[in-house]
Chain A
Amino acid sequence: MEGEKQGSPRELTNFTAKKKMKSKRYFDEAGHEGKVEEYTVDVDTFLKEQRKERKKKIKELKTARQEETKSRKNRHILKKKNKQETDVRKKVDPYPGDAPISKKKLQKYGRGEKLDTRGMKTKYHQDTFSRKEQRVKEAVRQAARSEFLLSEEQGYLEADEGEETSQITQHDMSSAVDITSAQKYFELELNQFGPYRMNYTRNGRFLLIAGRKGHVAAMDWQTKKLMCEMNVMETAQDVKWLHIETMFAVAQKQWTYIYDNQGIELHCLKALDCVLRMEFLPYHFLLASANAKGYLSYLDVSIGQKVAGFQTHLGRLDVMCQNPHNAIIHLGHAGGTVSLWSPNVKEPLVKMLCHGGGVRSVAVNNKGVYMATSGVDRYLKIWDMRMFKPLQNYRISAGAGHLAFSQKDVLAAGIGNVVEVYQDCCRHTMTKPYLSHRLRSPVANLQFCPYEDVLGVGHGNGFSSLLVPGAGEANYDALETNPYQTKQQRRQAEVKMLLEKIQPDMISLDTGALGKIDTKTLQEKIEERNKLLFLKPQKIDFEPKYKMKGKSKGKKHIQRKKGVMEQEKKETIRKIVQLRQEDKREKLKNDKRYFGPKSVLDRFKKKSEAT
């Protein structure tokens, strides 16, 4: 019989059972080569034995299967393939589960640190918040995983060995790239109307240029289709698109005007006079303008009303940029300071002394982390806007007159009639420019085209569009800005934008403040404590009522009056003392150095140890 092994106690009992001999059974076995052997077995014990054997077999099978699966798993880890054993049914995914996501990516899509539920009062709150946290984590993971779906790749430029990227000319590049990209390198020769200011729409499709001597033109710069062209017959200081490509503002000599894309004058904004620089805050529908008399004003273009205006008392304001992350306006001044403004505060939020001489240009990157400034002292400085500290300090031969950040933090600087482009100049100290291009006239304005590897340069002789590989964001979000927007979509998007207009009073340095818990600030706490310290019993004017005859004589009257006043005073003083004591106790409790009540023996401790 199978599995009959000498030595195991179970088999032994069966062996003894054999001797009982109640009924006789014949059966042959393969192991005995056809021989018929006679076994005498007790029926009950036989059945028992069978059952046992069946169990044993099942057990063996199970262990075998387990081992098999184990070995299969091991095989997956080692990525070995044994062709003989592969069975179609047994085939398992060699990379089970979701593809792993790197920590860096998760960090990119994350929304700050995880909430610590340990300090919460009840289990209920702990559970609800940990569940919420789980959901947030899953959302971040999903967002990070969606990166696989992005279709476009970022641009790049690599030089051959022994060659620098800055030696590569625009001509070289445009002849090396495809024809549609090559068409993005072009020059508009406009000699008559003097240095040009320019502006791209938020989706990067349309371009607006304005010559100092009044020439204004709007165009679809990729198809080179002109939308309108006119001369405003006045000095045009600056030009900006409003929220969509059907309207733009031109800062002219006296007032600021709004035109539509056919060049028809829609509004004359007399509230904005002598404007030198404008910035449009698209999410707030605010047109911020700085004028020659040092006046900064905010105009809500959706309702046509001035929201705020301040006299900065900082002289002529011709250096201006916005922080696209928090809609704060940065102004550069002749004294070398840069001031940060919001429409809610009359004074600058921050005033930084950035340069020894006057500030010539300011630019802030897309995430609002880095600010680049250049001054008359010929320095180019990079600042960390989270700490308001300098990060890099570059000395540039002639000093940069104009600066611009691209979506991917590539910095362009206009130095005389040379445009230099720097890559990765914020976190690391760069030693040489990424690209450089010489124009025939001095640079007047710079802007990177959003979602394209293109740098627009307005200069004395017109406008040139340069190729800067790696400058633009490759993948746009169609619900935010869409370069391939149809008219219908544009209309819909405008309505949505208007509905979601952020009120100007929400502009602050910390944009996330709305989503945070409102904890008391230190200043508020100090004020509260001060209030407590300087509490005084109030003076009361108590005039006792006249009572029965004889009881309201002069002396008694005054006694009663004084008595009540004294009592009131005592009461309030007692209350104040109590409050102060409580405050003290609270303070002691929160003090880390406090280890309980003082003992008599504390006097023998060393001074440093003692509380």
Chain B
Amino acid sequence: MKVKVLSRNPDDFRRETKRDIQKLPRNYDPALHPFEAPREYTRALNATKLERVFAKPFLGSLDGHRDGVHCMCKHPTSLSLLLSGSYDGEIRLWNLPKRKCVRAVAAHEGYVRGMCYNPSGDYFYSCGDDKIIKQWSMEEPGYGEHMQPTNTILGKTIFHAMDHHWQDNVFATAGQQMDIWDEERSEPMRSFTWGVDSLNSVKFNPIETHILGATASDRSIILYDMRGSAPLRKVILKLRSNTIAWNPMEAFMFTAANEDYNLYSFDMRRLDRPLNIHMDHVSAVLDVDYSPTGKEFVSGSYDKSIRIFPVDKGHSREVYHTKRMQRVICVKWSSDNKYLLSGSDEMNIRVWKARASEKIGVLRPREKEAFAYSEKLKEKFSHHPQVRRISRHRHVPKMIYNASKEIREIKASRKRKEANRRAHSKPGTVPFVPERKKHVVGEVK
């Protein structure tokens, strides 16, 4: 007779000392793990609920400005520095981790219209309603001294925006015309005009560094090549675009924030129709900024909210608002892809998390693993009605809720009307126009 009966030595299955970790032998046999689908579903549901429970995106506000914040500027190399300019001409330099104002200077008379760092971040430029461009050093002024501009350029016309080249010592200002300035000179290197009265924003392409985009008050978005003598091409939309932001990962892509509550993602090479229309705001979109990964962007709107859109999706994944936040004038996505900054009418700059329920700080490996697992589960069961409902739900202010309802009704009514018209007219006379073509008036080369 040969016999073997299961007999385990407990010492092999228990920890040896109290300082040791417990032994956890695993056996992945599916027979030992029943109810796989229902259990995973329950976990996914819990993870989704917890995500909403922990969604506390507001981190803090930087207050100190005595008028609304009009523009902000990230430091090119330091994560902790932020510049902000307000309606009363004051520029403030902030230390973000300490949430404190480091320096403040009354730089301009009237609005501070634009600010930009040079690529190394040693100094920055600012322009204002007083037609002056000022250069400021980042070095701390001596004890008892006030911050003084290191260089001043008097312009002929008003400036509405400015941006610095990503590599060279060249910057651009937008106003009556597009001016390209060499840092060494007090006269613009080159000026572009294309039959419009004024430009209201300008952005350099971070990859194809000699390309710039600007928005004009004649509803157009104009593209320039710094090397050429004339602008490249422009696209005219139904309403004015306020700003554009270039995708930092895909050289051809940019997104425009429009007055018609939408954002439009364009391919620079084909301007006749946008790649995507991002809808959700219920008022004019004032500013947009890309995440450094190029997969998402943040937009600030006149409806007192911030929204985060995935590049390839038509609707936002997230909306941020507070009771006290007024019209959002400018937004920025931090260079470490973790935080958002918003400057608004009521003189505050707010710091938000880019992912509302993310745990801030260093994660232990087991924590990381658990988060990754729940992320995967959420993805797997994202189409189940219960999970989808919870993950999609956002509480929004009554104003936004009602306005979006109204917009929805307006759209439905228009659609209905079009369908009726189509039904009652000769076939073919009422053409089907795709949504993406509806908003573009034309492309000019």
Which A residues have a C-beta under 8 Å from some C-beta of B? 108-109, 143, 146-147, 150-160, 163, 168, 172-173, 176-178, 180-181, 184, 283, 324-327, 366-367, 407, 451-453, 467, 469, 472-480, 482-484, 486, 489, 499-503, 506, 511-515
Q: Is the CB of A477 within 8 A of B32?
A: yes
B78 contacts the other chain (Cβ, under 8 Å)? Answer: no
Q: Is the CB of A108 within 8 A of B26?
A: no
23 A–B contacts from the bound complex (CB under 8 Å): A109-B28, A146-B28, A157-B2, A168-B1, A173-B5, A181-B7, A326-B34, A366-B31, A407-B31, A469-B3, A476-B25, A478-B25, A480-B32, A482-B24, A486-B22, A500-B46, A502-B35, A502-B38, A502-B42, A511-B36, A513-B37, A514-B38, A514-B384
Cβ contact of B7, chosen from A168, A178, A475, cutoff 8 A:
A178
Q: Which residues of A contact B7 (CB under 8 A)?
A: 177-178, 180-181
Contacts A476-B27, A515-B37; is A155 near B12 (CB within 8 Å)? Answer: no
B140 shortest CB reach to chain A, Å: 53
**Chain A CB within 10 Å, residue with most, of B12, B36, B38:** B38
Closest to B23 in A: A478
B218 contacts the other chain (Cβ, under 8 Å)? Answer: no
In the bound complex, CA of A480 to CA of B3 (Å): 29
Q: Is the CB of B36 within 8 A of A184?
A: no
Given A473-B29, A477-B27, 6 additional A-B pairs, CB 8 A: A108-B29, A155-B5, A173-B3, A176-B1, A178-B7, A477-B25
Q: Is the CB of A160 within 8 A of B1?
A: yes
Q: Which residues of B contact A499 (CB under 8 A)?
A: 42, 46
Cβ contact of B37, chosen from A178, A478, A482, A514, cutoff 8 A:
A514
B364 contacts the other chain (Cβ, under 8 Å)? Answer: no
How many B residues touch A, CB cutoff 8 Å?
36
In the bound complex, CA of A477 to CA of B26 (Å): 4
A464 shortest CB reach to chain B, Å: 16
B8 contacts the other chain (Cβ, under 8 Å)? Answer: yes
Contacts A143-B28, A476-B25; is A158 near B3 (CB within 8 Å)? Answer: yes
Contacts A152-B8, A472-B6; is A477 near B28 (CB within 8 Å)? Answer: yes
Give the contacts of B3-50 with A (CB-CB under 8 A). 3-8, 10, 12-14, 22-43, 46
In the bound complex, CA of A73 to CA of B24 (Å): 42
Contacts A146-B26, A499-B46; is A159 near B35 (CB within 8 Å)? Answer: no
Q: Is the CB of A451 within 8 A of B25?
A: no
Q: Is the CB of B3 within 8 A of A484?
A: no
Q: Which residues of A contact B36 (CB under 8 A)?
A: 511-512, 515
B423 shortest CB reach to chain A, Å: 12
Q: Is the CB of A500 within 8 A of B25?
A: no
Q: Is the CB of A184 within 8 A of B5?
A: yes
A407 shortest CB reach to chain B, Å: 8
In the bound complex, CA of A484 to CA of B15 (Å): 10
Closest to B8 in A: A152
In the bound complex, CA of A451 to CA of B13 (Å): 14
Contacts A477-B32, A484-B10, A511-B36; is A177 near B25 (CB within 8 Å)? Answer: no
Cβ contact of A474, chosen from B6, B12, B43, cutoff 8 A:
B6
A162 shortest CB reach to chain B, Å: 12
Q: Which residues of B contact A514 (CB under 8 A)?
A: 37-38, 41, 384
Q: Is the CB of A453 within 8 A of B39?
A: no
Cβ contact of A453, chosen from B5, B22, B24, B30, cutoff 8 A:
B5
Q: Is the CB of A367 within 8 A of B31?
A: yes
In the bound complex, CA of A400 to CA of B357 (Å): 59
Cβ contact of B6, chosen from A150, A152, A324, A325, cutoff 8 A:
A152
Contacts A151-B12, A157-B1, A499-B46; is A480 near B33 (CB within 8 Å)? Answer: yes
In the bound complex, CA of A374 to CA of B43 (Å): 39
B271 shortest CB reach to chain A, Å: 25
A169 shortest CB reach to chain B, Å: 11
10 nearest A-B pairs in the assembled complex, by CB-CB distance? A478-B24, A515-B37, A514-B37, A158-B2, A181-B5, A143-B28, A477-B27, A475-B27, A181-B7, A484-B13
Give the contacts of B225-262 with A (CB-CB under 8 A). none
In the bound complex, CA of A513 to CA of B384 (Å): 12
In the bound complex, CA of A407 to CA of B28 (Å): 15
Q: Is the CB of A478 within 8 A of B26?
A: yes
Closest to A143 in B: B28
Q: Is the CB of A451 within 8 A of B6?
A: yes
Q: Which residues of A contact B6 (CB under 8 A)?
A: 152, 154-155, 181, 451-453, 469, 472, 474
Closest to A167 in B: B1
**Chain A CB within 10 Å, residue with most, of B3, B13, B14:** B3
Closest to B26 in A: A477
Give the contacts of B50-97 with A (CB-CB under 8 A). none
Q: Which residues of B contact A109 (CB under 8 A)?
A: 28-30
A505 shortest CB reach to chain B, Å: 10
In the bound complex, CA of A549 to CA of B366 (Å): 86
Q: Which residues of A contact B12 (CB under 8 A)?
A: 151
Q: Is the CB of A108 within 8 A of B24?
A: no
Q: Is the CB of A159 within 8 A of B1?
A: yes
Cβ contact of A501, chosen from B30, B40, B42, cutoff 8 A:
B42
In the bound complex, CA of A103 to CA of B12 (Å): 31
**Chain A CB within 10 Å, residue with most, of B2, B37, B39:** B37
Closest to A159 in B: B1
In the bound complex, CA of A407 to CA of B23 (Å): 23
Q: Is the CB of B1 within 8 A of A484?
A: no
Q: Is the CB of B1 within 8 A of A163?
A: yes
Q: Which residues of A contact B5 (CB under 8 A)?
A: 155, 173, 177-178, 181, 184, 453, 467, 469
Q: Is the CB of A156 within 8 A of B4?
A: yes
In the bound complex, CA of A482 to CA of B31 (Å): 16
Q: Which residues of B contact A452 (CB under 8 A)?
A: 6
In the bound complex, CA of A513 to CA of B30 (Å): 16
Map CB proximity to A onto B180-196 as digits: 1 under 8 Å, 0 otherwise: 00000000000000000
Contacts A152-B6, A477-B25; is A283 near B1 (CB within 8 Å)? Answer: no
